[in-house]
């Protein structure tokens, strides 16, 4: 299991994911006045708009998705998808496939309305949720200063959120999209801070002397898991309220724990630990007690887990392979792992998207760090972050709301 997979073959896990997301080979559903055939593996679409920005967004979105390809003629297209912005916050979506479906979409801005129309078109033609109207929080490193930013999924609209002048890392969205928690070195040692997106305020949540890092909200947003220095001065995992109050240590070992991630049901955690030597993954109750080793059997270094909340059988993580790091996938039911990526350089920090099929990760190659979109079914890889943004890493995804 320590060698890279043969990418000419479709993986068992990818096939499982595709089966979960698709209907039977003859399934169809009503598209307003037309029919959607969801049996096709890759859907050719012709994209159109009277607006140059919308046309560019359409072409980019359907090119990078993986479930689609952009057709050049009407004859080869299964659908004609047209999106035209209307005013400052609306867009008209038209889908033609023998008959026509039409709908007006409202967004938070003109660009957001276009992205929401793309997501609606994806759902109407494949029954998969879209993600292009979502947001990405990330760490941007420009001139040696690591600050927190957010942008829309195609790295258009957004802004810088911190100006600490010192390291700010590991941003994570709250499920409602109102907050981002992150780790800052503003106090001289790592503490956990929270940004209120509604007022652009940054405040300290956890400031114990020592290590305070890797905060992450539970799926319902009511609790938070994090890594703090325990009484033995080693890093343990604590759980408290979403304001980091009532903190209780739930993982205690002689090793160092890192990067806790909530399970889809909000009752479990997975995390990395070196308690038995090399870095490995563990799973257990978020209330504490016994935690079991996850038999990834793929590498002596397994960290940065991200649990798929759409398909709870799948866990993505970062694994060491030779002198590099790559993204790997573990199936709980099969108790097996495989590598997903084969990047030149490193693929690290995986983050699942809301459709359970795609993930984003950091591609680190020399002095470059970029965010990559990856389709686990077709294995299509697309770089999202423009090179002009400098180093971009540690992406956290907020689904469209």
CATH code of the domain containing 380: 2.120.10.30
**Cβ atoms 130, 400 nearer than 8 A:** yes
State the CB neighbour count (10 A cutoff) for residue 216. 20
Residues 337 and 354 in one domain: yes
Whole-number pLDDT of residue 254: 85
Which pLDDT belongs to residue 230?
62
Three-state DSSP at 167 gives coil
pLDDT at position 209 = 83
- Statement to judge: residues 290 and 182 lie in one domain: yes
pTM of the model: 0.89
Q: Are 83 and 58 in contact (CB under 8 A)?
A: yes
pLDDT tens for 319-364 read 999 999 999 999 999 999 999 999 999 999 999 999 999 999 999 9
Those residues whose C-beta lies under 8 Å from the C-beta of residue 3, and which sit 6 or more positions away, are none
CATH of the domain at 56: 3.30.160
Whether residue 314 sits in one domain with residue 270: yes
At which of 126, 148, 179 does a domain end?
126
**d(Cα 357, Cα 340) in Å, to the nearest integer?**
12
Low-confidence residues of the chain, pLDDT below 50? 1-39
Q: How many domains does the chain have?
A: 2
pLDDT of residue 231: 60
Give domain status of residue 61, yes or no: yes
Range of the domain at 90: 30-126
Instruction: State residue 165's pLDDT score.
Output: 86
pLDDT tens digits, 77-90 = 999 999 999 999 99
Whole-number pLDDT of residue 74 = 93
Taking alpha carbons only, the member of 296, 251, 263, 252 closest to residue 278 is 296
Same domain, 48 and 112: yes
**pLDDT of 12:** 35
Q: Rounded to an integer, what is the distance from CA 250 to the centroid of its chain? A: 26
């Amino acid at each position: 299991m320590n060698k890279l997979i043969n990418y000419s073959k479709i993986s068992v896990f990818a096939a499982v994911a595709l089966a979960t997301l698709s209907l039977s080979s003859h399934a169809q559903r009503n598209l307003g006045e037309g029919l959607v055939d969801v049996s096709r593996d890759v859907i050719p679409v012709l994209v159109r708009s009277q607006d140059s920005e919308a046309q560019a967004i359409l072409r980019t979105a359907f090119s990078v998705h993986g479930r689609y390809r952009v057709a050049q003629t009407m004859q080869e297209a299964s659908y004609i998808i047209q999106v035209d912005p209307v005013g400052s916050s609306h867009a008209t979506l038209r889908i033609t496939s023998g008959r026509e479906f039409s709908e007006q979409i409202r967004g938070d801005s003109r660009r957001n309305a276009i992205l929401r129309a793309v997501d609606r078109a994806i759902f109407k033609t494949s029954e998969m949720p879209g993600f292009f109207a979502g947001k990405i929080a990330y760490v941007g490193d420009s001139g040696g200063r690591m600050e927190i930013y957010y942008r829309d999924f195609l790295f258009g609209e957004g802004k810088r959120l911190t100006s600490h002048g010192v390291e700010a890392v590991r941003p994570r969205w709250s499920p409602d999209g109102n907050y981002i928690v992150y780790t800052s070195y503003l106090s001289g040692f790592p503490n956990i801070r929270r940004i209120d997106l509604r007022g652009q305020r940054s405040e300290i949540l956890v400031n114990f002397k020592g290590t305070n890092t890797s905060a992450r909200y539970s799926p319902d947003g009511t609790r938070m898991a994090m890594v703090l220095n325990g009484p033995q001065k080693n890093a343990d995992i604590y759980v408290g309220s979403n304001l980091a109050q009532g903190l209780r240590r739930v993982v205690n070992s002689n090793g160092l724990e890192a990067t806790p991630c909530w399970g889809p049901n909000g009752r479990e955690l997975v995390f990395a630990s070196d308690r038995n030597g090399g870095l490995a993954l563990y799973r257990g109750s978020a209330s504490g007690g016994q935690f079991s080793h996850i038999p990834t059997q793929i590498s002596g270094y397994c960290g940065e887990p991200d649990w798929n909340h759409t398909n709870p059988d799948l866990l993505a993580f970062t694994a060491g392979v030779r002198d590099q790091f790559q993204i790997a996938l573990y199936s709980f039911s099969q108790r097996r792992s495989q590598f997903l990526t084969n990047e030149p350089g490193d693929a690290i920090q995986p983050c699942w998207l809301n459709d359970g099929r795609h993930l984003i990760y950091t591609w680190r190659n020399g002095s470059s760090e970029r965010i990559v979109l990856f389709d686990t079914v077709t294995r299509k890889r697309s770089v999202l972050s423009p090179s002009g943004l400098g180093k971009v890493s540690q992406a956290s995804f907020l689904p469209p709301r």
